[in-house]
């Protein structure tokens, strides 16, 4: 889910919120995000959390990515905390196998 925080927040423009099902899954999601953005010359200002904490935050200044374990995502419910933020629609990039 992508929340548009422009005009609502003074510290970032967007939250990207996603879920994983296990510690290795969280690590893989965060690692893939970092790798893909690094290919574009974009590096996070900060990375906080660990797969064991069930919440990893990748801070790209204007975009903050939250990678939650599904249970922690439901517990913290950022979507509800920022309920007045518009949700943006987006499409996933094609998988590598599909583009090859």
Looking at residue 2, what is its pLDDT? 96
Q: For strand 63-69 and strand 55-59, is the pairing parallel, antiparallel, or unpaired?
A: antiparallel
- Domains of the chain, earliest start first: 2-81 (3.30.460.10)
Read off the pLDDT of residues 23-41 as tens digits, 9 standing for 90 and up: 999 999 999 999 999 999 9
Span 66-86, average pLDDT: 95
Asked whether the beta carbons of 17 and 70 are under 8 A apart, the reply is: no
Looking at residue 98, what is its pLDDT? 53
């Amino acid at each position: 889910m992508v929340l548009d925080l422009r005009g609502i927040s003074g510290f970032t423009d967007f939250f990207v919120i996603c879920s994983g099902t296990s510690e290795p899954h969280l690590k893989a999601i965060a690692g893939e995000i970092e790798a893909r953005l690094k290919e574009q010359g974009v590096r996070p200002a900060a990375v906080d959390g660990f797969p064991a904490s069930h919440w990893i935050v990748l801070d790209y200044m204007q975009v903050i990515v939250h990678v939650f374990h599904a249970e922690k995502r439901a517990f913290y419910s950022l979507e509800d905390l920022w309920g007045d933020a518009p949700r943006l629609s987006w499409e996933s990039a094609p998988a590598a196998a599909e583009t090859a």
